[in-house]
Amino acid sequence: MGVASVDVPIAGNSAMYGRVRDEFLSYGLAARLRIGGELMNQTMGYSIFGTQYLGSSIASNLAQGLSWQIAGTPSGKTNLIVLVSAGRSSTSSAFPLDPQVGSTTVVPIGGSTITSAALSETLVAQPSGKVSFTETTGATLSRTTGAADFTSLQLTGLGSAKSLHGRDAYSLNAQAATTSFLSEGANATALGNQGTILTATLTGGWDRQYSAATSTEVQVGGLLVWLPKPDTLAFAPAFLANLNYAANPWFATVSVFQQPIVNSYVGNVVIGDGVTVRLSLPLNALQTWTVSGLAGYTYGRAVGSTLGGFYETDRGYDLITGGANTSYNFQRIPLFVSANATYTKQRGSSLPGYTLPDTTRMLFWVSVGAALQWGEGSRGFRRQ
């Protein structure tokens, strides 16, 4: 199956260290090849996505990726998924209009290139109809060159056990991740990219299915963050609460969360507290015309710098996001069109070693896309 899309801007507006107005063109193509079998399915994919700003005030980017996924059933009660991927992302240089953001170390932002390779596996075992176990491990090796120069290795591990009791499900979830900086260039030290960052969470969960369309999910526990330079250890509560309504194509979701967020580019960790609301509904009886909306707020707290600290954090930033989309899918041809708008506003702060700036970005654009499918059981195209 192949998917292609082109975004044509109505207007673009971005404020980064000042006020900037720019127009852009974004484009993308994704292709997948599926090969099926009795015990194993393989999916190979390629994607390319880019955004080109017509002015020079905002960085343009181009990303390409390759993937190979193997999904199989080693036994009747076990499913295994293995994913291998590689990617390359390039960003052009951009220069802030106003370098006075509360830091004497601010320099023009240069272009950078990130090359990465990743391997992950997921194993799901269901020994009975009421009990299931899931484990996932992954590794990503990334090389960044240009404005920053460093190599990083990210390792992740996740395990969960779930037990069903009628409409209720109870779970125990553990997750750990490390980000290690294997080599550092001159710019990497200035950005704080050094050592190994560790984050871990342990939560207990309760899910409730009230009806075929309505459900809730609650996870409560604790999180740990460790930074080596300087020695920093912080603990905090961790939680996630979701209220879901889904009756395709209708859906609405409200989420409240507290979780660690790692920024490998500047080598720091923040604990993010936030709430998001998502909504989508059709505008006609054929459900070919839909409207969607998104709103959210995140308050990020930078981890403190005292070993053995409990919940020692400093304000890093708060982020306000919003977005709206209306799309129309044609019935007889494999095309869709959509109009989109997004708004993000970050109110930052100056922290030891780096600055989180105040930024505001508003984007308005129109998308045109197509989805095509060939193979057994298809008619040569597939309506998106």
Does residue 251 fall inside a structural domain? yes
Residue 145: CA atoms inside 13 Å, Cβ hemisphere, count? 5
With a cut of 70, say whether residue 126 has pLDDT above it: yes
CA distance 113 to 253: 36
Does residue 99 fall inside a structural domain? no
With a cut of 50, say whether residue 119 has pLDDT above it: yes
With a cut of 50, say whether residue 384 has pLDDT above it: no
Does residue 54 fall inside a structural domain? no
Residues 369-376 have a mean pLDDT of 74
Instruction: Region of 121 please: left (phi>0), alpha (psi -120 to 50) or beta.
Output: beta
Q: Pairing state of beta strands 78-91 and 61-75?
A: antiparallel
Domain span holding position 339: 2-29+113-372
Does residue 46 fall inside a structural domain? no
For 323, phi and psi rounded to 5 degrees?
A: -165, 155
Please write the tens of the pLDDT for every residue from 130-185.
999 999 999 999 988 877 778 889 999 999 999 999 999 999 999 999 988 776 65
CA distance 125 to 23: 50
CA distance 199 to 235: 10
Does residue 38 fall inside a structural domain? no
pTM to 2 decimal places: 0.77
The answer, yes or no, to whether the previous bond of 249 is cis (omega within 30 of 0) is yes
Q: Cα-atom radius of gyration of the chain, to the nearest Å?
A: 23
Please write the tens of the pLDDT for every residue from 67-81.
999 999 887 789 999
Which of these, 202, 193, 183, lies nearest to 263 by C-alpha position? Answer: 193
Q: Is 317 exposed, middle or buried (0-12, 13-18, 19+ CB in 10 A)?
A: buried
Does residue 161 fall inside a structural domain? yes
| Percent of all residues in the chain with a pLDDT value above 90, rounded to a whole number | 39
CA distance 320 to 322: 7
Helix (H) or strand (E) holding 187: helix 186-191
CATH of the domain at 13: 2.40.160
E-strand ranges in 126-195 read 131-146, 150-165, 168-184
What does the mean pLDDT of the chain come to? Answer: 79
Our count of domains for the chain comes to 1
Does residue 285 fall inside a structural domain? yes
CA distance 238 to 219: 8
Q: What length does the chain have?
A: 384
The answer, yes or no, to whether the previous bond of 96 is cis (omega within 30 of 0) is no
Res 183: pLDDT: 67
Q: Which residues contact 64 (CB under 8 A, 6 or more apart)?
A: 46, 47, 48, 87, 88, 89
